Structure 1
Amino acid sequence: MVNEIKKTEDNIISTLGDIKQTVADFTDMFADMRGNITDELLKREEEIKGREKLFKTLFEETRKTLTSGNEAEKQKLIQLQGILEQPAIAFYAHHLKDLLLDTTDEILIFEKTFTNEGTGYDTSTGLFTAPVGGLYQFDVHTCASNEKYSYLGLVMEGNVIAADANYGDASYGCNNFGAIIRLKSGAKVWIKSTSSASNRQLYQDSHRFNTFSGLLVNN
């Protein structure tokens, strides 16, 4: 009986040793697993941080692009609004009050207008007064009488900026001249005779018009 007890005790001690070793093995295994899990979690955390940084960068770049695009569109709208708000300034005058060019510096007065948007041209004085400042285009068409001459100038504030010399042969003679100039608001433009004599005269009929026209191109 003592031997059996001793044998049983040894088995129990051996079993306890096995259990202890198994526990130690499991402890080491769990430690390794925990270490692996921690490393994996840290790795995933770094990946998430990297993706978050990339997302923030892409978001900021997209925001800047959209902001820049909106600003460009805003400027286009402002320019378009300026064009739409540009006043209509244009005149087309005809029919001279006096065809004789017997006085130097005499202003040619066109008594009628087909167009006078902005009422800049005065049919009583022959002067065009710019209602607004801007870039203007002016055109002059005149016809010299039969075997007569005409010497004319397009004048801006007293200065001749374009000139024309014409001679009317047996079938008369018509010429065109003009200029593109920038005017301040209130500036005056007109046509005058630059040389006077008894053989200086213009001509007009239903087939030959003398005309003076102007247009605001851009302000």
Structure 2
Amino acid sequence: MIRTEIKVETMVNEIKKTEDNVISTLGDIKRAVADFTDMFADMRGNITDEMLKRGDEIKRREESFKTLFEETRNNITRGTDSQKEELIQLQGKLEKPPIAFYAHHVKDLVLDTANKILVFEKTITNEGTGYDTSTGIFTAPVGGLYQFVVHACARYSKYAYLGLVLGGNVIAADANYGDESHGCNTFGSIVRVKLGAKVWVKSTSPSSNRQLIQDTHGMNTFSGVLVNN
């Protein structure tokens, strides 16, 4: 009987030890789980922060790239527009024909009418067709810097008072007298002429004693050339 009680008591003690070990082990497991949970939370927080930082860095780089791209595109566009404009201007200059005329043989040699326009009715050169042989007037087909030259011969013992006219204003003038033989003078001007402006030669002092002459020894001529536009 005593042995049985001792054996039962021993078994109870063993069961209690086992129970204590189980409880202790469960406590260790709970602590381990809690530690792992805390560690995972920290890791997740760190990962989240790192991902956010990387996301922000990617956004900053993206914005920087967009800004650089826009600046580069704008610079290229401005450069292209500038080159295009230069090419258009150059093309316009290349497409414009040379402007030059050389006319001779005055239709009416008597200078007895006020502001009479001298009509040089024959042309050797009329590039750009700016000079009209029917009116004696040159109309600028292109605006620019022109040189005009007038060569006129006064008859023996006669006078010739002539003026080079641009837009109604005399810009160059000459007084000539045929002393002992034909008297030939040359005068002219270099002047900027607008597109469509008109240039001609006229008598500036009309009289029956004003007269030109033209023959194999003296030609009356009117010429002009576009120097630069």
Q: Unaligned regions of 5+ residues in structure 2, if any? A: 1-9
Residue 150 of structure 1 contacts residue 167 of structure 1 at CA under 8 Å; is this kept in 2? yes
SS at match of 1:58: helix
Q: Which has the larger radius of gyration?
A: 2
For 1:114 and 1:160, how far apart are their aligned partners in 2?
A: 25
Where in structure 2 are the equivalents of 1:7-18 lying within 5 Å?
A: 7-18=17-28
CA 1:151–1:131 in 2, change beyond 3 Å: closer, same or farther? closer
Residue 166 of structure 1 contacts residue 175 of structure 1 at CA under 8 Å; is this kept in 2? no
Per-residue Cα deviation, 1:101-147 (whole angstroms, up to 9, x for no partner): 65354544445433112434344x56024274744625124265688
SS at match of 1:154: strand
SS at match of 1:103: coil
Q: Unaligned regions of 5+ residues in structure 1, if any? A: none
For 1:74 and 1:102, how far apart are their aligned partners in 2?
A: 53
For 2:82 and 2:111, how far apart are their aligned partners in 1?
A: 59
- The one-letter amino acid paired with 1:139 is F
Deviation, structure 1 residue 86: 2.9
Residue 118 of structure 2 contacts residue 200 of structure 2 at CA under 8 Å; is this kept in 1? yes
Alignment match of 1:26 (pick from 25, 36, 57): 36
* CA-atom RMSD in angstroms: 3.9
Q: Structure 1 residue 178 and structure 2 residue 179: aligned?
A: no
For 2:168 and 2:59, how far apart are their aligned partners in 1?
A: 76
The number of aligned residues is 215
1:68 maps to what in 2? 78
2:200 maps to what in 1? 190
For 2:117 and 2:124, how far apart are their aligned partners in 1?
A: 20
TM-score by length of 2: 0.68
Alignment match of 2:69 (pick from 29, 39, 59): 59
CA 1:202–1:135 in 2, change beyond 3 Å: closer, same or farther? farther
1:35 maps to what in 2? 45
Range moving further from structure 2, 36-45 or 15-24: 15-24
Residue 139 of structure 1 contacts residue 213 of structure 1 at CA under 8 Å; is this kept in 2? yes
Q: Structure 1 residue 139 and structure 2 residue 148: aligned?
A: yes
TM-score by length of 1: 0.70
